[in-house]
Structure 1
């Protein structure tokens, strides 16, 4: 009985957050909108390396740390799209607005699962800062925005994998 209580306490933030079960649905909607905003995603390489290693490391941490990482990633993505020069890309403005609204919803709903924390991953923060600088250096060029869109798709996919891993872990522990 004590062991079961300890496991439930460790997973409380994931289990008590019913919304987390809907994360992948809303993330898929956000991904669809991201693809509809503009044309085909660029095949160009980003000047900022994608942090695959960081995602791998996070998968081995406690659930609460994973949720904080997801929340901070969504915050970083959201901050990119609040950039002053968002008028540069030739994206569909209505679809772009819906994308931003959905991204905001993902972030806000996740706040119900994650305790308020100032715990930021420095490497993740540096990564998003470098992406923002890419936009700044190019004056928010269309090409740099397309790279941001491509990076966003990669992040949303990786975050979905992380949420799925959390949910699978929680389900297997309940059995």
Structure 2
């Protein structure tokens, strides 16, 4: 009886380790390629990035905290941040003057990145509440307050670029 349970536990541990290893390989070999691609598209889909700052403070302490976190927590943070960015782009985009093809490609690659990272994250892991609050505040104080204007979307594009660059740095520190 105990032997069967022991073998079952060993089998489950090995399976979960393989999932993490595949995830590690994917992040190491593919994350940077997709990241470079969507950062390039983000830059190309509009004009110059605005010099104006969003009226929401960037969650710098959150990024400092995640630098010291365990690998799995970093992967969860990557996944959650990309998810929150994707949600930002679900809003009313009628005023956007960006190149439509580059925008669609950007969103598709972002979705691909999210799906791949999502397969690495345990469903039991809870999302980072402070990150979620930051993105809600960004949505409220930029998009909604500025009535989804072209200027508001430019601020979102700038903040998106900032976050995606910081995620790229985080992944670089993971290996």
TM > 0.5: yes
Q: Unaligned stretches of 5+ in structure 1?
A: 1-7, 169-175
Where does the alignment leave 5 or more consecutive residues of structure 2 unmatched?
1-13
Equivalence for 2:137: 130
Structure 2 partner of 1:15: 21
Please say if 1:91 is aligned against 2:93.
no
Does residue 67 of the first structure (1) align with residue 75 of the second (2)? Answer: yes
Conservation of the 8 A alpha-carbon contact between 1:37 and 1:91: yes
On the 8 A contact 1:13/1:114 being kept in 2, the answer is: no
RMSD after superposition: 2.0
Q: Distance in 2 between matches of 1:26 and 1:127?
A: 24
Select the structure of larger CA radius of gyration.
2
Which 4+ runs in 1 deviate beyond 4 A? 11-14
| Among 152, 163, 166, the residue aligned to 1:155 | 163
Q: For residue 14 of structure 1, report the CA deviation from its aligned partner.
A: 5.1
State the TM-score, normalized to the length of structure 1: 0.85
Q: Per the alignment, in what secondary structure is the counterpart of residue 49 of structure 1?
A: coil
1:144 aligns with 2:152: yes
What does residue range 4-83 of structure 1 map to in structure 2 within 5 Å? Answer: 15-17=21-23, 18-21=25-28, 22-83=30-91
Q: TM-score, normalised by structure 2?
A: 0.85
User: Could you say if the C-alpha distance between residues 14 and 150 of structure 1 is closer, same or farther in structure 2, counting changes exceeding 3 Å?
Assistant: farther
